[in-house]
Amino acid sequence: MNSNQNSINQDFNFGQMCKDCREGINSIIEQMPFFVKIIVFSTLIFFIINLFTPYISFYLADIPYFTIFYFQIWRLLTTAFITTGLLSIVFSLLFWYRDAVKQEQEKGTVKYMLNFFMMTFFIQVLYCLILLIISLIIQNTIMLKIKITLGGVRNEGLWPILMCDLTLLCLSNPDANMKFFFFPCIIKAKFYPIVLFCIFTILSGFNIDFEILCGIAFGFIYHYYLKNKIEISNNFALKVENSFLCQWMANKKGFISIHNCGSTAIPANLENVNNSNQNKSNFNAFQGKGVTVGGSDGNINRENIDYAQLASRNNEDYANSETNIEMNNTETSV
């Protein structure tokens, strides 16, 4: 009897644990911004599909040989969704998720989406360019096929964009002191991504990951040379948000518009600013009649006001006030 009761309690506790876990996952999914949700689910779906067939990573990962010589340009963007290693996908999502949610909430869904794809595109272009130069130097195309291994295609997924975002974050305050994990040392923020890459390279047996290196390199290039030239403005993001292609996203759960994002001082539309200035220039003084305030009846008409009489009345009041001051001073002296 007692054993049956214990088994029932165990089943009940296990069922409650599953229910709590399911509710926790649902709450996390509901709180995800729209584009972050797309990245997370796409990455997980492609990872599961890749377990059964390697063709998904072979056709979507950025393999420079096919990108350059076969003009398969889509690889420059789709490679961000492909992660082939279990530990790689777990840690990349964990490290990328928090900062991605913050950025989408601050910038808005459309602006963050455009920024994500722009950064991914330029990182992969830099990656293809570096490997092409190395291949020309050694006169061998092996570097252009570096991702193709015996086990399939090795791809880093979100790690390049993650390292680029980390680099930009460190360069926002380059001279700040940062503690390097559990090591008893303090380094400048501007050197943090480089030291981190060197440590990971040593731990991986001195295997240089050019894709992650390009993510760090483009972070420096963007911060010092390209930020004021290719940075996506709020006005451009607003135009894209109002376009026909993005209208379907506006009603989706978790979508954050430009007007509702958390960034400060957003110039919503230049036309609105011009209209407000035009309204100010067209302002005219009130020409009609007003009602007297204080209970008395009657209307106020500018034409009926005797300004000379009003000025003389003010002068009399001023003279009376001066006389009262002199009398008070005389009484005080006496």
Q: Give Cβ neighbours of residue 252 (< 8 Å, ≥ 6 apart).
A: 34
Q: Among residues 27, 8, 28, which one has the least CA distance to residue 16?
A: 8
Phi, psi torsion values for 300, nearest 5 degrees: -105, 125
Per-residue pLDDT of the chain (334 residues; tens, 9 = 90+): 555 555 555 555 767 777 777 777 777 788 899 999 999 999 999 999 999 988 899 999 999 999 999 999 999 999 999 998 899 999 999 999 999 999 999 999 999 999 999 999 999 999 999 999 999 999 999 999 999 987 789 888 999 999 999 999 999 999 999 887 777 888 999 999 999 999 889 988 888 899 999 999 999 999 999 999 999 999 999 999 999 888 888 888 899 999 988 744 444 433 443 444 444 444 454 455 544 444 444 444 444 445 445 445 555 555 555 555 454 444 444 3
User: Count of CB atoms within 10 A of residue 276's CB?
Assistant: 9
Q: Which of 23, 147, 157 shows the shortest CA–CA distance to 94? A: 157
At position 26, the amino acid (one-letter code) is: N
* Distance, CA of 286 to CA of 245 (rounded, Å): 47
pLDDT of residue 53: 87
Q: Report which residue type is found at 291.
A: V
The 3-state secondary structure of the chain reads: CHHHHHHHHHHHHHHHHHHHHHHHHHHHHHHCCHHHHHHHHHHHHHHHHHHHCCHHHHHHCCCHHHHHHCCCCCHHHHHHHCECCHHHHHHHHHHHHHHHHHHHHHHCHHHHHHHHHHHHHHHHHHHHHHHHHHHHHHCCHHHHHCCEECCEECCECCHHHHHHHHHHHHHCCCCCEEECCCCCCEEEHHHHHHHHHHHHHHHCCCCCCHHHHHHHHHHHHHHHHHHHHHCCCHHHHHHHHCCHHHHHHHCCCCCCCCCCCCCCCCCCCHHHHHHHHHHHHCCCCCCCCEECCCCCCCEECHHHCCHHHHHHHHHHHHHHHHHHHHHHHHHHHC
pLDDT confidence of residue 320: 56
pLDDT value, residue 300: 45
Q: Give the whole-angstrom CA distance, residue 22 versus residue 26.
A: 6
Residue 323: the pLDDT is: 52
Q: What is the pLDDT of residue 322?
A: 52
| pLDDT at residue 301, rounded to an integer | 47
Domain ranges of the chain: 28-274, 290-333
Q: Residue 196 and residue 208: Cα distance in Å, rounded?
A: 13
What's the CA angle centered on 58, arms 89 and 110, to 5 degrees? 60
Contact residues for 222 (Cβ-Cβ < 8 A; gap 6+): 119, 122, 164, 168, 230
First to last CA, the chain: 111
- What pLDDT sits at residue 47? 94
> What are phi and psi for residue 304, nearest 5 degrees?
-90, 0
Distance of CA 255 to CAs 109, 176, 267, Å? 6, 34, 19
Of the candidates 116, 118, 117, 141, the residue with the CA atom closest to the CA atom of residue 63: 141
pTM of the model: 0.74
